Amino acid sequence: MLSSIAAIVAFWLTQSSPTDNFAPIQSPPTAIQQLQWHSSPKSIPSITFKGQSGKELDLAAFLGTPVLLNLWATWCAPCIAEMPALDRLQENFPIDELVVVALSIDRAGLSDIEPFWENAKISSLKMYFDPTMSAGQILGVRGLPTTLLINKKGQELARLEGPAEWADQEAIEYFRRIVSTEQQEGS
């Protein structure tokens, strides 16, 4: 009887553990401890937004690359405070290993973002914006900033509501281990 229970538990654990990209290898470090991993990857509804050129994009444009999608706005004080850290995080990763998509929901789009980018000396992130402000509602965002960790297949693996210290050295190392593990599994 005991061996049957052990076998059932072992089977359940192997079948219910997220085995897709970015499987959590340990608890997040203090700087990003609010990162909540889902028990399994979640489908993400389609959202559209614009890039700096004004071209319309969606998350499918990033398939094949892990994404850290951050929804923010220039009128959100915690968002403004964390943007330089997101920029430094991106600076530590080649775009084909991890792309940070900082998606502004400012209605005015580039006319709001460009002055902020210049003043904050943002250099590694690209500008993305959703002038319809619908991405947050579609993705079930409860407040700003909110960040989604998305695998190469375009599935949400984890979410962090509120600001975080993305450029903390332990956080960067955490993402390096996750990306490295994901690359090994993908080869």
User: Distance between CA atoms of 80 and 162, rounded to whole angstroms?
Assistant: 12
Cβ proximity of 129 and 49 under 8 Å: yes
pLDDT category of residue 9 using cuts at 50, 70 and 90 = very low
Residue 75 has pLDDT above 60, yes or no: yes
Q: Is the pLDDT of residue 109 over 60?
A: yes
Identify the structural domains of the chain with CATH numbers, from first to last. 35-186 (3.40.30.10)
Q: State yes or no: pLDDT of 17 exceeds 60.
A: no
Instruction: Tell me the pTM.
Output: 0.86
The DSSP line for the chain is -HHHHHHHHHHHHHHHS--STT---SPPPGGGTT-EEEEEEE-----EEEETTS-EEEGGGGTTS-EEEEEE-TT-HHHHHHHHHHHHHHHTS-TTT-EEEEEE--TTTHHHHHHHHHHHT--SSPPEE-TT--HHHHTT--SSSEEEEE-TTS-EEEEEES---TT-HHHHHHHHHHHHHHHHHH-
Strand-pairing partners, residue 53, are none
Confidence of residue 20 (pLDDT cuts 50, 70, 90): very low
pLDDT in tens, 30-43: 999 999 999 999 99
| Widest distance between CA atoms in the chain | 67
Look-up of token digits 């192997």: 14
pLDDT at site 2: 43
pLDDT of residue 178: 79
Contact 85, 167 (CB under 8 A): yes
Return the pLDDT at 26: 76
